Amino acid sequence: DVKVTQSSRYLVKRTGEKVFLECVQDMDHENMFWYRQDPGLGLRLIYFSYDVKMKEKGDIPEGYSVSREKKERFSLILESASTNQTSMYLCASSPRGGPDTQYFGPGTRLTVL
Amino acid sequence: QKEVEQNSGPLSVPEGAIASLNCTYSDRGSQSFFWYRQYSGKSPELIMSIYSNGDKEDGRFTAQLNKASQYVSLLIRDSQPSDSATYLCAVLTNTGGFKTIFGAGTRLFVKA
């Protein structure tokens, strides 16, 4: 079974703090993704990576950065957290090639006060 | 126009009925289509994928694809209360590179 884990289920941070969200997958997948999910807006892609050290902007990259130093780990960084970044953050992975079936982690619910 | 559009619901059906969930997409070059189920407070999980026109059946689930109409649907036969969840339609597009676009989801309630 594919397992995607995320470092925290719930996180509360203050405005202006730097926030790190970690994601680890154990299936040797090349592709990894970070989404945020908000009511009525669905899943929106923040960043994705097709390989180690590679990153591509998604639809809403502003205010975020990412790091992929190892194949199994993909980190999302909020450089200076703001209240409008309060959301559910979901990490996903998928194997290279194929139809891009994505496997999701449990999610991190981030609240920025 | 949203790239992948779904009725947000909620869609309410009685136990044992057929639930019909619909999705339209804007990119004619889309190649692969997926249905994910998301229980409240949980992350999405894949339940069906479909790549060619027609129907694809898996147990109580049937995915239907009509590329000419840019329409994909999910039928759930003999609906159970455990099917109550949000169903996300996802489309693999090829506009500006391959990318999966998710719809906002349809909430389904199955009443016992």
Please check the confidence at residue A99 and state whether its pLDDT lies above 60. Answer: no
Instruction: Write out the two tokens for A74.
Output: 């993909």
CA pair distance B5, B53, nearest whole angstrom: 19
Minimal C-alpha gap between B85 and chain A (Å): 14
User: Which residues in chain B touch residue A97, judged by CB atoms under 8 angstroms apart?
Assistant: none
- Banded model confidence at residue A33, pLDDT cuts 50, 70, 90: very high
Phi, psi of A65 (to 5 degrees): -140, 170
Mutate to test the interface with A, among B43, B65, B92 (most CBs of A within 10 A): B43
Task: Report percent pLDDT > 70 for chain B.
Answer: 96
Nearest-Cα distance to chain A for B42, in Å, is 6
Q: Does B92 touch chain A (CB under 8 A)?
A: yes
By residue count, chain B amounts to 112
**What is the arithmetic mean of pLDDT over B21-29?**
93
Residue with tokens 């339940």: B47
Relative to beta strand A108-112, strand A10-13 is parallel
The strand pairing partners of A67, in sequence order, are: A75
Q: pLDDT tens for residues A42-74?
A: 899 999 999 999 999 998 999 999 999 999 999
Is B81 strand, coil or helix? Answer: helix
Q: Which residues of B touch A58 (CB under 8 A)?
A: 99
What confidence tens digit (pLDDT) does each residue in B40-95 have?
A: 989 999 999 999 999 999 999 999 999 999 999 999 999 999 999 999 999 988 76
